[in-house]
Structure 1
Amino acid sequence: MEAGMVHEGRDGWLFLVGGNNDVLAQYRRSWRTWAHDWRWRQVVIARADRCRRLGIRYLHIVVPEKLTIYDNLTGGLALDVAASPAQRLRRWLRGSAAAGAYLDLVEPMRARRDAQELYFRTDTHWTHDGCFIAYEAICRRLGTAPREDLRSGRALPPAPVCGDLGQKLTPLRFETYVPQALQRDAVRIYANDLVRDFEAEDRIGELHLGTHVVFRNDAPGADPRRLVVFGDSCAHFRWEVYSGQLTGLLAETFREVHFLWTPGIDWDYLAEVRPDVVISEFAERFLARLPPKTFRRAALARLVRERKGMPQPTAA
Structure 2
Amino acid sequence: MGRKRWDTVHIGRDGWLFLTGGSNSVMDQYGRGLRRWWHLRAWSRLIEARAARAARLGIRCLHVIVPEKLSVYDNLTRDLPYDPARASSRVLARRLGRCPAYLDLLAPFRAARDGPVPLYLRTDTHWSLEGCYLAYGQIMRALGAVPPADIAERPRFDHERLMDLGGKLPEQPREIVAHASLQRDAVRGFTGDLVAEHEARGRAEDLHVGAHVVYRNAREGVDPRRVVLFGDSYAHFTPILLTGLMAESFAEVHFVWSANLDWGYIERVRPDILLFELAERFLARLPQDDFDVGTGRRSAG
Question: Are 1:129 and 1:151, in contact at CA under 8 Å, matched by a contact in 2?
Answer: no
Alignment partner of 2:294: what SS?
A: helix
Amino acid at match of 2:174: F
Question: Are 1:194 and 1:301, in contact at CA under 8 Å, matched by a contact in 2?
Answer: no
Question: Are 1:48 and 1:101, in contact at CA under 8 Å, matched by a contact in 2?
Answer: yes
**Which whole-Å CA distance do the structure 2 matches of 1:265 and 1:108 have between them?**
27
Query: Structure 2 stretches of 5 or more lacking a match?
Result: none
Amino acid at match of 1:118: L
**Which whole-Å CA distance do the structure 2 matches of 1:151 and 1:18 have between them?**
34
**Which whole-Å CA distance do the structure 2 matches of 1:235 and 1:62 have between them?**
12
| Map of 2:28 onto structure 1 | 25
Render the CA deviation track for 1:42-82: whole Å, top value 9, x for unaligned. 10011000000000000010000011111100122222111
Structure 1 residue corresponding to 2:292, chosen from 292, 296, 307: 296
* CA drift at 1:3: 7.2
**Which whole-Å CA distance do the structure 2 matches of 1:216 and 1:195 have between them?**
17
Alignment partner of 1:114: what SS?
A: coil
**Which whole-Å CA distance do the structure 1 matches of 2:120 and 2:259 have between them?**
22
Structure 1 position 277 matched with structure 2 position 278: no
Give the TM-score, by structure 2 length: 0.94
Within 5 Å, give how 1:5-84 maps onto structure 2.
5-84=8-87
* CA drift at 1:153: 2.9
| Map of 1:314 onto structure 2 | none
Cα gap change, 1:100/1:24 in structure 2, threshold over 3 Å: closer, same or farther?
same
**Which whole-Å CA distance do the structure 1 matches of 2:154 and 2:185 have between them?**
14
Query: Structure 1 stretches of 5 or more lacking a match?
Result: 304-316
- Which range moved further: 49-58 or 35-44? 35-44
| Map of 1:217 onto structure 2 | 217
Structure 1 position 287 matched with structure 2 position 287: no
Give the TM-score, by structure 1 length: 0.90
Alignment partner of 2:277: what SS?
A: strand
Name the % identity. Answer: 50
| Map of 1:196 onto structure 2 | 196
**Which whole-Å CA distance do the structure 2 matches of 1:109 and 1:152 have between them?**
21
Cα gap change, 1:297/1:153 in structure 2, threshold over 3 Å: closer, same or farther?
closer
Render the CA deviation track for 1:130-173: whole Å, top value 9, x for unaligned. 001111011111111123422243112x2202110001011211
Name the one with the larger strand percent: 2
Aligned residues: 294
Cα gap change, 1:117/1:162 in structure 2, threshold over 3 Å: closer, same or farther?
same
Question: Are 2:232 and 2:259, in contact at CA under 8 Å, matched by a contact in 1?
Answer: yes
Question: Are 1:56 and 1:277, in contact at CA under 8 Å, matched by a contact in 2?
Answer: yes
